[in-house]
Amino acid sequence: MQLNVPPRSVDEKGNSAAFSQSREIIRRLETLGEVLQDSSGRVLNHRYWFVSAYIHSSKHVLRKVEWGDYQHPEVILTVQRYFFQLYQHNLKHPEAHWQWAFHRCQQFRTSRPSFIQVMYLFYPQLVAHVRFDLPRAILWACQDHKMDVLQLEEDFRETLHGFDHAVAHFMRDVRTRVGLCPPCPAQLIQAMTWLLQRERLLGWQAAVALERTPESAGIPLHFLPLDLQ
Query: Does residue 224 sit within a domain?
Result: no
pLDDT of residue 185: 76
pTM of the predicted protein model = 0.85
Q: What is the DSSP string of 16-42?
A: BHHHHHHHHHHHHHHHHHHHTB-TT--
Would you say 156 and 204 are in contact if contact means Cβ atoms under 8 Å apart? yes
Contact indicator for 23, 226 with CB cutoff of 8 Å: no
Query: Do the domain assignments include residue 205?
Result: yes
Q: Which residues of 167-204 are buried (b: 16+ CB within 10 A; e: fewer)?
A: bbbbbbbbbebbeeeeebeeeebeebbeebbebbeebb
Of the candidates 225, 165, 168, the one whose C-alpha atom is nearest the C-alpha of residue 3 is 225
Instruction: Give percent above pLDDT 90 in the chain.
Output: 60
pLDDT band of 5, cuts 50, 70, 90: very low
Q: Is residue 10 part of a domain?
A: no
Cβ-based burial of 158 (10 A; exposed 0-12, middle 13-18, buried ≥19): middle
Whether residue 152 is contained in a domain is answered as yes
The total number of structural domains in the chain stands at 1
In a domain, 55, yes or no: yes
Residue 4 placed within a domain: no
Torsional class of 182: left (φ above 0), alpha (ψ -120 to 50), beta (otherwise):
beta
Mean per-residue pLDDT of the chain: 84
- Residue 11 or 139, more confident: 139
Contact 81, 22 (CB under 8 A): yes
Alpha helices in the chain (DSSP H): 17-35, 48-66, 73-92, 96-107, 115-127, 134-144, 153-160, 163-177, 186-212
Is the residue at 11 inside a domain?
no
Q: What is the pLDDT of residues 92-146, one digit of tens each?
A: 999 999 999 999 998 887 778 888 899 999 999 999 999 999 999 999 999 999 9
**Full domain range(s) for residue 53:** 17-219
Residues forming beta bridges with residue 43, ordered by sequence position: 37
The answer to whether residue 106 sits within a structural domain is yes
Closest alpha carbon to 223 in 82, 52, 33: 82
